[in-house]
């Protein structure tokens, strides 16, 4: 004896959908600031690593070519150059892809032995207290490392 056609309803009710949508939007609002902070930190880290890679490239070129390589600061760029007949040839150029990230670039000469004329202490910062700034330390011997901005390069 079946009294009627009873079908089991499938799907979600409007109330269930609205509650779920409300929870998702609250979680998204909580995650947005930390995601923005993550992006800022990644930009800073990427710039520091690129700067270190350019220095290491310059040092390896000095040793490979057995001649002095010049790191020249030009506005916000760092040029890797060698002396050639009639001037200088630029081998590589470092430019920060992010205008909010600053690097205190300096002019340096890397001898054919891989040693520098002066020790370098380059701060890479975005002027945001919520991110961890970096310091590229380069000894006169040519050794380099990236450290936290608060650390000294001694």
CB atoms within 10 A of CB 26: 10
Tens-digit pLDDT profile for residues 15-36? 988 999 999 988 888 877 778 8
For 14-148, CATH number? 3.55.40.10
Q: Name which of 79, 65, 57 is nearest 113 in CA terms.
A: 65
What pLDDT score was predicted for residue 2?
58
What pLDDT score was predicted for residue 5?
64
The length of the chain in residues reads 154
Tens-digit pLDDT profile for residues 50-108? 999 999 999 999 999 999 999 988 887 889 999 888 899 999 998 878 888 888 888 88
Q: Given pLDDT bands bounded at 50, 70 and 90, which one contains residue 37?
A: confident
**Beta-carbon-side half-sphere exposure of residue 135 (alpha carbons within 13 Å):** 14
DSSP tally for the chain: helices H, then strands E? 1, 8
What's the average model confidence in pLDDT over 46-51? Answer: 92
Tens-digit pLDDT profile for residues 134-145? 999 999 999 999
Q: How far apart are CA 65 and CA 111, in angstroms?
A: 10
Structure tokens at 136: 């590229």
Q: Across the strands, what pairs with 134? A: 124, 148
Q: What is the pTM of this model?
A: 0.77
**Beta-carbon-side half-sphere exposure of residue 39 (alpha carbons within 13 Å):** 8
The string of DSSP letters for 33-90 reads: HHHHHHHHHHHHHHHHHHHHHHHHHHHHHHHHHTS-EEEEEETTEEEEEEEETTEEEE
């Amino acid at each position: 004896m079946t009294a009627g056609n009873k079908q089991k309803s499938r799907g979600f009710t409007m109330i269930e959908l609205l509650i779920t949508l409300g929870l998702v939007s609250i979680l998204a609002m909580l995650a947005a600031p930390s995601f923005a902070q993550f992006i800022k930190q990644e930009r800073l880290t990427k710039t520091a690593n690129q700067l270190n890679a350019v220095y290491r490239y310059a040092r390896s070129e000095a040793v490979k070519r057995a001649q002095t390589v010049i790191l020249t600061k030009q506005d916000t760029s760092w040029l890797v150059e060698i002396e050639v007949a009639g001037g200088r040839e630029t081998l590589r150029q470092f430019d920060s892809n992010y205008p909010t990230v600053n690097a205190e670039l300096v002019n340096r000469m890397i001898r054919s032995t891989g040693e520098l004329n002066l020790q370098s202490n380059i701060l890479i910062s975005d002027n945001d207290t919520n991110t961890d700034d970096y310091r590229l330390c380069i000894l006169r011997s040519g050794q380099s490392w990236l450290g936290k901005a608060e650390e000294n390069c001694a």
